[in-house]
Amino acid sequence: MEVCGSVVTNSKYELFRLKCIYCTIESELKDWELFIVHVKTAHYCEEEDQNPVDTKQDLPAEIYAADTAITYGPDDFFEVIENNNTEDQWLQPDGTDVQYLEDATAWSDPTVDFCEFIPEGNSAENPTGDTTTNMGDDSQNHIPLNTDDDEVDCSDFYMSEDDLAPPRRPGRPPRRKRPGQVFKFKVSFTRSNPRVLHLIHAYREHPCLWNPSDEHYKDDPARNMAYEAIMERMDNKANVLFNLDELKRTLEQLHVQYTLALETKQKGKLVGLAARYFAKCDYLSVAPTVTPKDAEEDDDLTVIKLNFKEENLVTSAFIETYANYPGLYNNELSDFGSVEARASAYRKMAKEFQPVVKCNETDIYIAVNKLRRWLYDAMRRLKSKELIQKCSKQEVQYLRMCSFLPAKGSESQVLYCDYCEKRFHGDYNLRVHIFKAHQLGDLPYLCNLCPRRFDRQVDMDRHKLRSHFERKLKCQYCEKTFAVDNDLKVHTLIHTGERPHVCDICGKTFRLKLLLDHHVNGVHLNIRPYSCDMCSKTFRKKFELANHIKGHLNIRDKKCEYCEATFYDHSSLSRHRRSHREGMSY
């Protein structure tokens, strides 16, 4: 059986309840039958294996025991919970809860929603809920180091087996469309996740997305309908909300996991949960092969290009320079939580790194985050047994150079606001909060080509493409060029005449969702959030208020190229230009 719920308890282990992992439904233990009915009717994913795979025959004894610990039937499960008052049979010998063992690949990705995996019993004194890997004391006999070089000696590494255990991140809860809904998850064959089963079954029902011989494989309308059907099913059955781009990335992860599992099976080493998930994805054998993308592939906008696959001056020099600033990684130092001290350290580090790469403090911050992400991911790949790419010999060498960094933990990068005590992961997130909530300081992301600042890296990168780089995307209908793909798509709608966004109230159509929102809020709901401080007028849009204030201050910065007339706003100038064109045509 797959896990369908969690057993939650209070801090004194006096009260126990069942909680659905898909939604907010809870029930008493004595009402477990109703709980099972809820899961089967609302979220159940039917097992359709006619010839189930025997995946335990080659497993070591201790791994087999851990695997069978979560395969009780409903009666056995509740008998264990209700009749056992002395020792919790759901714990490993070291006290680890089987249900919350993390997948080695899932938690190393910073985009993963960690709140999905946090047990509700964490207290303020122990917010991390420390876990250990699913091993006995002799676990190293069963998990060889996952490297390309079998002779690499890793005995002097600074991280212990316990350090490698993924933490339960408290963090702030993500935005929810409805209570309990998950916005995205990472597909992995090494961690039991019923939502992956829902995705596998939903994907199998639409061969036009994965079977090249299907008659609708290249039919875009049919494929879009299939994507919509999968998103609807995942929303209704698995309580996962996708947009189109997120769904495509998740399906690509499914193909990658299948490819890695196939390679492991060809070596005769595919066992356990990975083998069961692989068997359920047998229909993907006819799909085009999707290979894992190189995690170290740099974006063109990245100034400090770190490459951990081969020895290079930039990566080596950056690690050595970073080691000289313990205030950025050692949370025991007094200035670790100071925003000003950290910002100053980034500036000093950028100046020190100038002979190697010309950069600013934002480039240093981005490179530091990339280094830490690679480090913790590589440590898990080093200890991993299956379905994860091996560490190269050079990566192991860089791991040794990074021994000054602390083991990954939920508190290793937590910073607190000095004004409201809110907690943040990453000092740039804290700086954005201070700027927006307390109107202090500047936005953190500084363009290295001009003085503009931004609150998100994606906005800074988009600005660079639009303002400082060559526009390589050309419109197929005219001579205009663009730097951002989305800008080209929006421009193309002018030529095609498409207006896909329709007002549900009056039927008026718009090219952009933003224009539709302005129309609904301003015309139908009469929402005018922007008010003038000099008079009683209100406006729907911020730029309308700005132009109105120009009228109060008599700022006429819009000038006609045919005469000396000046105007406050662009719309007035456009109306004036039409009078010139009408006169010329007459």
Residue 299 located in a structural domain? no
Q: Tell me: do 269 and 356 sit in the same domain.
A: no
Q: Tell me: do 193 and 325 sit in the same domain.
A: no
CA 203 to chain centroid:
21
Range of the domain at 370: 313-467
Angle formed at CA 163 by CA 162 and CA 165, multiple of 5 degrees: 70
DSSP 240: B
- 357: buried, middle or exposed (CB in 10 Å: 19+, 13-18, 0-12)? middle
Q: Which of 261, 291, 199 is nearest to 53 (CA)?
A: 261
Q: Tell me: do 234 and 364 sit in the same domain.
A: no
Residue 483 located in a structural domain? no
Please name the residue ranges forming H helices in 217-305.
Answer: 220-237, 244-266, 272-280
- The number of domains in the chain is 2
d(CA 515, CA 505): 15
- Count CA within 13 A, CB hemisphere, residue 9: 10
Query: What residue type is assigned to position 412 of the chain?
Result: S
Q: CB-based contacts of 268: which residues, under 8 Å, 6+ apart?
A: none
Q: Tell me: do 240 and 372 sit in the same domain.
A: no
Q: Which bin fits 453, alpha (ψ -120 to 50), beta or left (φ > 0)?
A: beta
Q: Tell me: do 355 and 436 sit in the same domain.
A: yes
Q: Tell me: do 260 and 330 sit in the same domain.
A: no
Residue 29 located in a structural domain? yes
Quote the tokens at residue 18.
């069942």
Query: What residue type is assigned to position 107 of the chain?
Result: W
Burial 495-525 (b: 16+ CB within 10 A, else e): eeeeeebeeeeeeeebbeeeebeebbebeee
Q: Which of 144, 190, 207 is nearest to 387 (CA)?
A: 190
Q: Tell me: do 205 and 257 sit in the same domain.
A: yes
Each residue's pLDDT, cut to its tens digit, for the chain (586 residues) gives 556 778 888 877 788 888 887 777 788 888 888 888 887 777 666 544 444 444 444 444 433 333 333 333 333 333 333 333 333 333 333 333 333 333 333 333 433 333 333 334 343 344 444 444 343 444 333 434 666 665 555 444 444 334 434 444 444 444 445 666 777 788 988 888 888 999 999 999 999 999 999 999 988 889 999 999 999 999 888 888 888 888 999 999 999 999 989 988 898 888 888 899 999 999 999 998 887 765 444 566 888 999 998 899 999 999 999 999 999 988 888 888 899 999 999 999 999 999 999 999 999 999 999 999 999 888 888 887 667 778 889 999 999 999 998 877 645 678 889 899 888 888 899 999 999 999 999 999 999 999 999 999 999 999 998 889 888 888 999 988 998 888 898 899 889 988 888 999 999 999 888 889 888 988 899 888 889 999 999 988 888 899 899 889 988 888 888 888 888 888 888 888 888 877 665 4
Residue 382 located in a structural domain? yes
Quote the tokens at residue 96.
């680890």
Residue 390 located in a structural domain? yes
d(CA 169, CA 186): 16
Quote the tokens at residue 198.
């829902």
Residue 542 located in a structural domain? no
Place of tokens 């996708």: 242
* H-run or E-run covering 482: strand 481-482
pLDDT tens for 232-249 read 999 888 888 888 888 999
Q: Tell me: do 274 and 341 sit in the same domain.
A: no
Q: Tell me: do 236 and 328 sit in the same domain.
A: no
Residue 308 located in a structural domain? no
Domain boundary among 267, 286, 305: 286
CB 142 within 8 A of CB 136: no
pLDDT tens for 416-462 read 898 998 888 888 999 999 999 999 999 999 999 999 999 999 999 99
CB 362 within 8 A of CB 448: yes
Q: In the chain, what is the straight-line distance between the N-terminal and C-terminal CA atoms, in Å?
A: 81
Domain boundary among 433, 467, 501: 467
